[in-house]
Amino acid sequence: AYNGTVLWSQSSPEMRRANIPRDSSNMVADKIALYVAQGRYCIHYDGQTGQRARRYAVPESDTGKHYWSFLAVEGSTLVGSRVNKGTLYLGDDGEWFEDFKPSDISRVTSDRLFGVDTATGKTRWEYSGGAIINSTITIGEDVIYFIESTAEEARAKAGAIQTIGQLTHQKLVALDLNSGQRQWERDHDFSKLQFMTYLVYADDMLIATGTDKDKNYHTYALAASRRVTKTEDGDSSILPPGSLLWEDHHKEGKGHHSGHLQHPVIVGDTFYSDQWAFDLKTGKQIRDDLPERRGCGTMSA
C-alpha cells in the first residue's frame, strides 16, 4: 500500500548539488529503480530494497577527469551529460543564488551528451558539439532538445561553469533519443534570458523562458518539428522546426524570494509562468492573478 512507509534509505553526501536553476537534476526514477548521479558514476538503486543493482560510468571515466551531470531515463535509455571534475554548485549554509552576479548566475555547461543501455550498461551513442547549457536539456517524444553555445571560448571551456557573457552564438538543437543523431538545429537569440534559461516541452512545442537583469520574464514558444500551416489565402506554408510561434514579455510579479527564478509548468493546454497563465498554442494571456507560492516555493504539476 502507498501509505508513506519508509522502505529504505541511503546516505550519499557526494550527490549534494545546489543552484539547480543554473544546472540540472541528478536523480530520476522509473518503475523499477532510482538512478542517482554521483561523481564519475550513475548508481542504480533497486526501487523496492534500495540495494545497489549496478553502476554506470561516464564516458572516459577511467581518466578521473569527468563527472556525470544531467540525468534522465526514457524507456531503456539512460541519458546523461558530462562535465569536468568538480563542476557543480555546492551550498549548505543558506545560499540563495538569486542576485545578478557571476557567482550566482553562471551556467553549468556540459561537453558531451550520451545514451546508456540500462540493462547492459553499454554506451549507445555520444554527442559533442558546443557548450551544452544543462538547465535547458529536455526530452519529448523520443527527441532530446537543448540550447548550446558555439562561441569559440564557450566551446573551449565546455564542461565548466561559464558566465553568460561567454555563452553567445546559441543554437537550439534536437537529437534522436535512440541514436544521438542530430535531427535539426537553429540559431536563436536568447540573450535576454540572463538570470536563468529554462526549456520545457509539451505537445510538439518548446518553450524557452528566463528573466533579464531587471527581472522581466521573456518567453519564446517554438515549433519542435516541421509544420505545415495555412496562409490567409488558403495556401500551404512550411514552418521549419525551431520557428517562433509566439512570445511574451512581462515584469515578474512576486518581487521577493526568487520570484524572478520561477520554473514554468505546463498543464494540458495552459502554460503557467510566475503569476501568469497563457494558452499554450496561441500565447494568449488567460490569467495574471495566480497566487504567490509561499517563501521560495515554486510551482509543480
Cα–Cα dist 290/270, whole Å: 13
Cα–Cα dist 159/68, whole Å: 10
Matching residue, cell 561559464: 162
Segment 44-63, tens digit of pLDDT: 999 999 999 999 999 987 88
Q: In which domain, by residue range, is 31 found?
A: 1-187
The domain that contains 159 carries what CATH number?
2.40.128.630
Q: Give the model's confidence band at 175: pLDDT under 50 very low, under 70 low, under 90 confident, else very high.
A: very high
pLDDT score for 249: 97
Please say whether the beta carbons of 238 and 259 come within 8 A.
no
Q: Give the model's confidence band at 1: pLDDT under 50 very low, under 70 low, under 90 confident, else very high.
A: low
pLDDT score for 13: 82
Grid cell at residue 164: 553568460
Q: Give the model's confidence band at 184: pLDDT under 50 very low, under 70 low, under 90 confident, else very high.
A: very high
Residue 208 lies in a domain: no
What mean pLDDT do residues 166-172 have? 98
Residue 301 lies in a domain: no
Cα–Cα dist 135/30, whole Å: 21
Cα–Cα dist 222/125, whole Å: 27
Residue 245 lies in a domain: no
Cα–Cα dist 141/241, whole Å: 14
Q: Mean pLDDT of all residues in the chain? A: 94
Residue 231 lies in a domain: no
Residue 217 lies in a domain: no
